[in-house]
Structure 1
Amino acid sequence: MTAPRVPAPEIDPANKPNGPASYFPSIEKTYGLPIQHWLDIAADQLAEGRSHMQVVDALKTEHGLGHGHANAVVAYVKAKLAG
């Protein structure tokens, strides 16, 4: 098994994260899958050359994420890939 392009952050329930990662606990609860699943999808699609909004739209239409959740996942991945 290969390491993910963008590993999921460790989230301490006592210290709520800021920025896009603040959505991750809600995303996991709402969709029943670990955040790494969504990060991997976004990272793969960005690596294929899709734009931010194309990946957001794919997460919404193909996977049922809400706009805010999809945008948070893509923004987090893009920031980590750039960083």
Structure 2
Amino acid sequence: MDEQHKAKGPASYFPAIEQRYGQPVSHWLALLAGRDEKQHMALVAWLKTEHDLGHGHANALVAHYLAQG
């Protein structure tokens, strides 16, 4: 990916997330969509506790998910 098309913000973490955890980002977004909780840090804590994601990866997924509305 060249500089002009390089992902920015939370999406910049997506390739590393997919590589490290072996699931596509769509998997994580679907899990988040299934949660009644919509508070950012509560969702981050849930991903860290229940799915063993690192803080930065969980934070990026939640930020992206919540930004979608």
Give the TM-score normalised by the residue count of structure 1: 0.74
Q: Which structure 2 residue ranges, 5 or more long, are not aligned?
A: none
1:55 equivalenced with 2:35 (yes/no): no
Q: 1:39-78 maps to which residues of 2 (within 5 A)? A: 39-45=29-35, 48-78=36-66
Unaligned segments of structure 1, at least 5 residues? 1-12
What is the letter of the counterpart of residue 40 of structure 1? A
Percent identity of paired positions between Structure 1 and Structure 2: 54
Q: What SS is found at the alignment partner of 2:66?
A: helix
Q: Distance in 2 between matches of 1:32 and 1:17?
A: 20
> What is the total number of aligned residue pairs between the two structures?
67
Segments ≥4 residues shifted beyond 6 Å = none
- Supply the distance in 1 between the matched residues of 2:6 and 2:21 (Cα, whole angstroms): 20
1:49 aligned counterpart, secondary structure: coil
Given the alignment, which residue of 13, 18, 37 partners 1:23? 13
**Greater helix share, 1 or 2?**
2
CA RMSD of aligned residues (A): 1.2
Quote how far apart the aligned CAs of 1:43 are. Answer: 2.1
Deviation at 1:16, TM superposition (A): 1.8
| Distance in 1 between residues matched to 2:40 and 2:64, nearest whole Å | 11
- Could you tell me how far apart the structure 2 residues matched to 1:43 and 1:19 are? 20
